[in-house]
Amino acid sequence: MLQSNLMHIVVLITCPDDESARFISHLLLTRRLAACVNIIPSITSYFWWGKRENRIHESREVLLLVKTKQSLLRELTRTVKENHQYQIPEIIALPIVGGSKEYARWMDDETKK
């Protein structure tokens, strides 16, 4: 079992459509900023946007689950911001606190050193 050393993270990123989700995924993988990206199609997001608008927005989106290392988060964030359609893209990192040691080694092998 992988110990909680906070070396590995899962990053949540929402995209407006399948095409942009595939583009961001491919970019992160080819730059070795992610070992694996899952694309979860067709989610519905509800959110506040703009303090002057007193209403909740609804949007169809695509969710990316990005498995990577904590040390790559800054570069991953910069890459997403530079290539994302949204003015303020959702980029939320969550620590992986346990799991397979073999999977963790695989993530290390498949991402930048």
Could you report the per-residue pLDDT of 83-103, keeping only the tens digit for each?
999 999 999 999 999 999 999
Of the pLDDT bands very low, low, confident and very high (cuts 50, 70, 90), residue 50 is: confident
CATH of 8-110, one of 2.60.450.10, 3.90.950.20, 3.30.70.120, 3.40.225.10: 3.30.70.120
Whole-number pLDDT of residue 113: 86
SS3 labels along 18-59: HHHHHHHHHHHHHCCCCCEEEEEEEEEEEEECCCCCCCEEEE
The pLDDT score that the predictor gives to residue 52 is 79
Give the per-residue pLDDT at 1: 53
> Is the Cα torsion angle 74, 76, 77, 81 positive or negative in sign?
positive
Using CA atoms, how far apart are residues 15 and 63, in angstroms rounded to an integer? 6
Retrieve residue 91's tokens: 């980029």
Residue 71: pLDDT above 70? yes
Average pLDDT over residues 16-36: 98
